[in-house]
């Protein structure tokens, strides 16, 4: 069963039930967007959206990632669907470090180019935040590449504060 929220309810940060739908105002989109847990069968759509984000991946590799992440109790994956078409996803988990209390972290988040600025991203982020809150955590972190200025504006509108700018270093290991 799905609860129905109009776009204006999501805009005012009303609490979201576990299963819900965002109904856009008629001037934006007339179709219903639903959010549900991701499944391995969403691998093709998730891979397509990952490529839009700049991270191309094969369908088989994406399927394996989805299966691995779904097996973790401290991780959740959600998709936004227009009818049966996946148009966005969010990857959220609990991050543990010795120097800080555990917190929720959005590890990945994308909405298809053709559905951006219609409330879909807001719904996915709200679902991720709800998942984190249900685990008793009070902080959500999201990292965004410095060049993604539109994403930065989105997060600021959603109540996130820029808390740090970092350099990221990585090293390829020979294993």
Q: Report if residue 173 sits inside a domain.
A: no
CA distance 124 to 163: 22
Exposed, middle or buried: residue 151 (CB in 10 Å: 0-12, 13-18, 19+)?
Answer: middle
Mean pLDDT of 116-132: 92
Q: Is 171 among the domain residues?
A: no
What local confidence, expressed as pLDDT, does residue 31 receive? Answer: 58
Q: Residue 124 is part of which domain span?
A: 3-157
168 in any annotated domain: no
Mean pLDDT confidence for 72-78: 97
Residue 115 belongs to a domain: yes
What's the number of domains the chain is made of?
A: 1
Q: What is the CATH number of the domain that holds 46?
A: 3.40.630.30
Cβ-based neighbour number of residue 103 at 10 Å: 16
Which residues are registered as beta bridge partners of 80? 35, 88
Residue 64 maps to a domain: yes
Does residue 174 sit within a domain? no
Average pLDDT of the chain, as a whole number:
83
Indicate whether 17 pLDDT > 70: no
Residue 83 lies in a domain: yes
Mean pLDDT of 1-11: 37
pTM score:
0.79
Q: How confident is the model over 15-24, as a mean pLDDT?
A: 46
Share of the chain above pLDDT 70, in %: 82
Q: Quote the percentage of the chain above a pLDDT of 90.
A: 55
pLDDT of residue 108: 94
C-alpha dihedral sign at 55, 161, 125, 148:
negative
């Amino acid at each position: 069963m799905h609860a129905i929220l109009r776009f204006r309810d999501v805009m005012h940060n009303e609490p979201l039930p576990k299963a819900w739908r965002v109904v856009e105002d008629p001037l934006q989109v007339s179709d219903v967007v639903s959010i549900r847990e991701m499944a391995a069968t969403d691998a093709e759509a998730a891979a397509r959206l990952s490529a839009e984000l700049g991270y191309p991946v094969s369908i088989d590799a994406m399927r394996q990632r989805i299966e691995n992440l779904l097996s973790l109790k401290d991780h959740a994956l959600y998709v936004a669907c227009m009818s049966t078409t996946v148009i966005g996803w969010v990857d959220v988990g609990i991050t543990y470090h010795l120097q800080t209390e555990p917190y929720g972290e959005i590890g990945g988040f994308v909405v298809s180019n053709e559905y951006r600025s219609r409330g879909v991203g807001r719904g996915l982020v709200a679902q991720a935040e709800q998942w984190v809150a249900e685990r008793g955590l009070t902080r959500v972190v999201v990292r965004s590449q410095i060049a993604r200025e539109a994403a930065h504006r989105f997060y600021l509108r959603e109540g996130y504060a820029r808390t740090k700018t970092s350099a990221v270093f990585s090293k390829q290991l020979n294993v």
